[in-house]
Amino acid sequence: MPTPGKLNPELTIVRGDTTSLIFNLTSDGETPIGNITGYSYAMQLRTTPDAVGATTLTCTITDATNAQVTCVLSAADAALLTAGTQYYYDLQQTDTSSVKTTLVSGITQPVQADVTRP
C-alpha cells in the first residue's frame, strides 16, 4: 500500500495550458505497489478544501503493472482557473474492494497568467 504524502510543492499550472501529472505509485519511494488493474483514481483542484466548485482532472492508469497513473488538466479547464490563485489538490485511489485512500495532497503555486490566447 502506498504511503500517503505530498506531491512536489512546486506544482505549477499555467492558465490555459494542458498540464499532465505522472504518478509512479511506490511503497518505499522506489518499488511499485503492485498491479493496479481495476483501481480508479480521482484528482481535483479547489480554492479551499471545502469549496463547492471543483476542477476535475482526468486520471488514467498508464501502466498497471508498474503502478503508474497520469492525471491531465485540460487546456479548457485550465483556462477557467484564476491567475494568481493557489488551489488545493489531492489524488484519491479507489481499490478493487472500494477502499478509498488519499495518496498525495497539497497546494499549487499561484496559477500563472497566460499571455497567448485565442
Residue 8: phi and psi, rounded to 5, are: -50, 120
Q: What is the per-residue pLDDT for 47?
A: 95
CA angle 88, 45, 101 (to 5 degrees): 80
What nine digits make up the cell of 94? Answer: 479507489
Is-above-0.75 flag for pTM? yes
Instruction: Catalogue all structural domains in the chain, each as residue range(s) with its CATH number.
Output: 5-107 (2.60.40)
Q: Judge whether residue 3 has pLDDT over 60.
A: no
- pLDDT, tens digit, 9 for 90 and up, residues 50-97: 999 899 999 999 999 999 999 999 999 999 999 999 999 999 999 999
